[in-house]
Amino acid sequence: MKKSLLCVAALLALAGCSGSTPADNAGASGGEEGRGPIAVASRPDPGGVFQTLADRWNESHPGEPVELIEQPQSSDDARAQLVQNLQARSTEFDLILANNVWISEFAARGWIAELPADELPADGLLEAPLATAEYDGALYAVPLFTDAGLLYYRTDLVPEPPSTFAELIGYCDIAAAQGMGCYAGQYAKTDGLTVNAQEAINAAGGDVLDESGAPDVGTAEAAAGLQLLRDGFDQGWIPREAITYTEEEGRTAFQQGRLLFLRNWPYMHNLASAEGDGNVVAGKFDVAPLPGIDGPGASALGGWNLAVSSYSEHPETARDFALWLLEPEQQRTLVTDGGLSPVLAELYDDPELVAQYPYLPTLKDALANARPLPKSPVWSAISLAVQDSVYAVLQGELDPADAVEQLQAALTDAIENA
Amino acid sequence: MAVTMQTAERRLGRRLLLPTTVLLVLMVGYPIVWALRLSLYSDSITGATRFLGLDNYTRALWGADAERFWSAAWNTALFTVTAGGLELVIGVAMALVMHHLGAFRGPVRAMILVPWAIPTAVAAVLWQWMLTPNGIVNDLLGRQILWTGETTAARAAIVLVDVWKTAPFVGLLVLAGLQLIPKELYESAKMDGAGALRRFTSVTLPLVAPAILVAMLFRILDLMRLYDTPAILTNGANGTTTLSLFTYQEAIDQVRFGYGSALSTLTFMLVFGVALLVIRGCGVKVFETGEGRR
């Protein structure tokens, strides 16, 4: 009995400890209004590039040090965590590295502060990523790095990269002869499926939302796009197991030599180029723009933007740090140390960088043609609806023509119900 | 004199209960009432809400989301029945094994309990690796089953992970019940000429029934709130969206606290109803075994 009482007392003591956090020492460092130490909700940083940049800033700005706090790896989990923080008006983060599809929602909810557009570099920024940082005609973030899907292919097996799906399917005999799968993207039920579905729909000339942001998916073109992916599974040029693929499963399959073609983001180029540990494709692959139906396809635009939290106690420092990261020197470090895709156009033609990352010119073309993902404050409801309909099509449970009708209704409901 | 003593004692009792009552009202009552209130209001991006009445409930029960809600309810029921049933059978078997082991009881009990000690999320991630299309499970089976890519396989995978993890817990609860049965009962049953099977059905089962019932109740309540395993393993794809996962998607992913509260209230009422049924329905039996023991 005494023992159990002790246990309870110990538990209560623990709870008490965790309840009383050390006093907030914000403002202790003094200085101007809105300036001081800031915390950045940043991405996982295996290569340490964000830390390198933060250290560089901290050296030259001793009074306004930057602390990086990593978000969860998966984008869905990262968003859930940020949403809970922002909903509670937490001052934990001053600057938020946000997936570009979250900007509209965060801005509409008043969680991130408007930024003065005239402080951006006058020119040199890629237009498409910058557009994702805007909401309702105002600037709410600055793009830090961007992303576009690329077609990874095996140069030792395929003479010329295909520019259309018809050409790609023509190569699938090679894959069959090698006993490998032909093509795959990200088809597990995550945001990656939304991206792949949009790319297929775009390739067939359809769209998910129209220019005004209204649902426009109940079209024959959209159905044709989904039919293409469905055919892939039915005809076997997309292997059955690809229904479980996110980015990493696909990368593993490609690196183990089990896939001839893979749609994936640029991040995998470095990893697949590194020899060893079951990687059989180092030096045997290259990238090309995504294939389309009548000609080259269009990638969906990925990428991450920096937004200043509305609840930040030092928003001036947060804004300055975000703008400082747009300077050529910092953007270059993002490429050289992190393999990330910069938002400054000039770096894509830089001979030194192209020597290190031969895919940069291809990526520049892909970015020029890339289409933004649905830009809406209810992005996550839209993405969930797209995943539900498209996944059912890929599983053969729903006819593409019925699926796009159903999706149109679901998107209309999601937007009206906002 | 005796009467006043009693009243005074009762009064003291009530006063001693006060701190607990206050704590319960704060920790349990307040959130429930607040969620009920929230569930009657709309959600909007701008944060401005308006009173909706029962619209959030009708949307889930027979409105725009009826299909999703009822399929989640059906999935939850399916997991509760299959995983709960398997855990009960395997758990009882484990308890019997642990009970009858003499010297090795300690180490075996520790071994059986290892899965239960692993956090569910960690267990789900471990199994996710083992269940990939080219993972060790398919390798051992010699065939490629898409454990997270097909309805039947995905449901089976979730039941598998849950049973692997929680059958030991059921085993432990039942073992505690087994150890309370006096040895003399078995001796006298033996003297009366009862065989091993008869002793199990006539002595062990009735006397361990209360423990089994408690374990069953725990598992039913837990499984009706099943969230982490499907969230990690399948993200709700292929007929594995449970009520909790659906509620999470709406309340947290889409920041709809009003609608999310309505969904969790509905889940709460379902769980409450089932718990009541189990306690009422099976509680009688507990009482009867209690009578029989006397």
Q: Encode pLDDT of A246-295 as tens digits.
A: 999 999 999 999 999 999 999 898 889 988 878 999 999 999 999 999 88
Chain B residue with minimal CA distance to A85? B252
Q: Give the model's confidence band at A17: pLDDT under 50 very low, under 70 low, under 90 confident, else very high.
A: very low
- Facing residues of A399 across strands? none
Q: How many CB atoms lie within 10 A of CB A51?
A: 14
Contacts of A188 in chain B (CB under 8 A): 148-149, 235, 237
Residue A190 φ then ψ, to 5°: -140, -175
Mean pLDDT computed over B84-95? 94
CATH numbers and ranges of domains, chain A: 33-147+302-371 (3.40.190.10), 149-300+375-416 (3.40.190.10)
pLDDT recorded at residue A27:
41
B148 with B233: CB under 8 angstroms? yes
Residue A180 and residue A257 in contact, taking contact as beta carbons nearer than 8 Å: yes
Look at residue A23 and tell me whether its pLDDT is greater than 50: no
- In angstroms, the CA A409 to CA A15 distance is 48
Alpha-carbon dihedral A251, A252, A256, A259, rounded to 10 degrees: -50
Please report which confidence band the pLDDT of residue B49 belongs to, taking 50, 70 and 90 as the band edges.
Answer: confident
C-alpha dist (Å) from residue A346 to A184, A298, B76: 32, 22, 54
Q: In what order do the strands lie in the sheet with A259-264?
A: A181-184, A259-264, A150-154, A285-288
Task: Say which amino acid occupies A355.
Answer: A
Per residue in A352-379, pLDDT (tens digit) is: 999 989 899 999 999 999 999 999 999 9
Residue A171 confidence (pLDDT) above 60: yes
Q: Number of C-alpha atoms within 13 angstroms, CB side, residue A224?
A: 13
Q: If you average pLDDT over residues B246-273, what whole number do you get?
A: 93
Q: Is the dihedral of CA B134, B138, B143, B145 positive or negative?
A: negative
User: Looking at residue A7, what is its pLDDT?
Assistant: 52
Regarding beta strands A285-288 and A300-308, do their DSSP bridges make them parallel or antiparallel, or are they unpaired? Answer: unpaired
CB distance B181 to B249 below 8 Å = no
Torsion sign (Cα): A147, A153, A155, A159: negative
Contacts of A418 in chain B (CB under 8 A): 44-45
More confident residue, A138 or A14: A138
Contacts of B239 in chain A (CB under 8 A): none
Helix (H, G, I), strand (E, B) or coil at A286: strand
Map residue A171 onto helix, strand or coil.
Answer: coil
Q: Is the minimum CB–CB distance between B196 and chain A shorter than 8 Å? A: no
Assign B3 a pLDDT band (cuts: 50, 70, 90). Answer: low
Average pLDDT over residues A385-403: 96
Instruction: Copy the structure tokens of residue B270.
Output: 């379902």
In DSSP terms, A305 is beta-bridged to A98, A143
Distance CA A93, CA A408 (A): 37
Partner A, chain B 116-145, Cβ-Cβ below 8 Å: 132-134, 144
A369 exposed, middle or buried (CB, 10 Å; 0-12, 13-18, 19+)? middle
Question: Given a cut of 70, is residue A24 above it in pLDDT?
Answer: no
Calpha distance A70→A96 (Å, rounded): 10
Q: By C-alpha distance, which of A250, A247, A261 is closest to A163?
A: A261
Chain A interface includes B230 (CB < 8 A): no
Per-residue confidence band for A15, with pLDDT thresholds at 50, 70 and 90? very low
Mean pLDDT score, A92-103 = 96
Please report the DSSP string for A221-272 in residue order: HHHHHHHHHHHHHHHTSS-GGGGG--HHHHHHHHHTT-EEEEEE-THHHHHH
**CB atoms < 10 A from the CB of A278, how many?**
8
How far from A245 is each of A251, A263, B104, B241, CA to CA, in Å? 9, 11, 45, 19
Cross-strand bridge partners of residue A183: A261
Euclidean distance between CA atoms B187 and B206, whole angstroms: 16
Whether A79 and B253 lie within 8 Å, measured CB to CB: yes
Q: Classify strands A138-139 and A95-99 as parallel, antiparallel or unpaired.
A: unpaired
Cα A364 to chain centroid, rounded: 17
Place of tokens 């696909």: A250
Asked if B252 reaches chain A (Cβ–Cβ under 8 Å), the answer is yes
State the pLDDT at residue B44: 85
pLDDT at A28: 41
Kindly report the nearest CA distance between residue A108 and chain B, in angstroms. Answer: 6
The answer to whether the CB atoms of A244 and B133 lie below 8 A apart is yes
Percentage of residues of chain A with pLDDT beyond 70: 92
Q: Could you tell me if A185 and A250 are in contact, meaning their C-beta atoms sit under 8 angstroms apart?
A: yes
Q: Which residues of B112-126 are buried (b: 16+ CB within 10 A; e: fewer)?
A: beebbeeebeebbee
Beta bridge partner(s), residue A259: A181
Helix axes of A220-235 and A400-416: crossing angle, nearest 10 degrees: 130
For A88, nearest residue in chain B (alpha carbons): B255
A255, two tokens: 């690196």
What is the spatial distance between Cα B271 and Cα A85, in angstroms, rounded to a whole number?
30
Using a CB–CB cut-off of 8 Å, the residues of A that contact B are 76, 79-80, 83-84, 87, 105, 108-110, 188-190, 240-241, 243-244, 249, 258, 377-378, 380-381, 384, 391, 395, 413, 417-418
CATH architecture of B55-293: Orthogonal Bundle (1.10)
In sequence order, which residues have a C-beta less than 8 Å from that of residue A173 and are 6 or more positions away? none
The answer for residues whose C-beta is within 8 angstroms of residue A328's C-beta and 6 or more apart is A344, A346, A347
Instruction: Report whether pLDDT(A20) > 70.
Output: no
Tens digits of residue pLDDT in B121-150:
999 999 999 999 989 999 999 998 999 999
Q: Which helix (H) or strand (E) holds A308?
A: strand A300-308
DSSP state of B150: S
Residue spans per domain, chain B:
1-38, 55-293
Report the C-alpha gap between A163 and A151 in whole angstroms.
Answer: 10
* pLDDT score of A2 more than 90: no
At residue B109 the predicted structure's pLDDT band, cuts being 50, 70 and 90, is confident
Q: In which element (H, E) is residue A304 found?
A: strand A300-308
For chain A, count helices (H), then strands (E): 17, 12
Please report which confidence band the pLDDT of residue A172 belongs to, taking 50, 70 and 90 as the band edges: very high
Dihedral over alpha carbons B47, A387, B157, B167 (to 10 degrees): 10
With CB atoms and an 8 Å threshold, state whether B235 touches A79: no
Enclosing H/E stretch for A67: strand A66-70
| Burial of B20 (C-beta count, 10 Å sphere; 0-12/13-18/19+) | exposed
Here the tokens at position A4 are 């159990």
Work out the mean pLDDT of chain B and round it to a whole number. Answer: 89
Q: Do the strands A138-139 and A134-135 form a parallel or antiparallel pair, or are they unpaired?
A: antiparallel
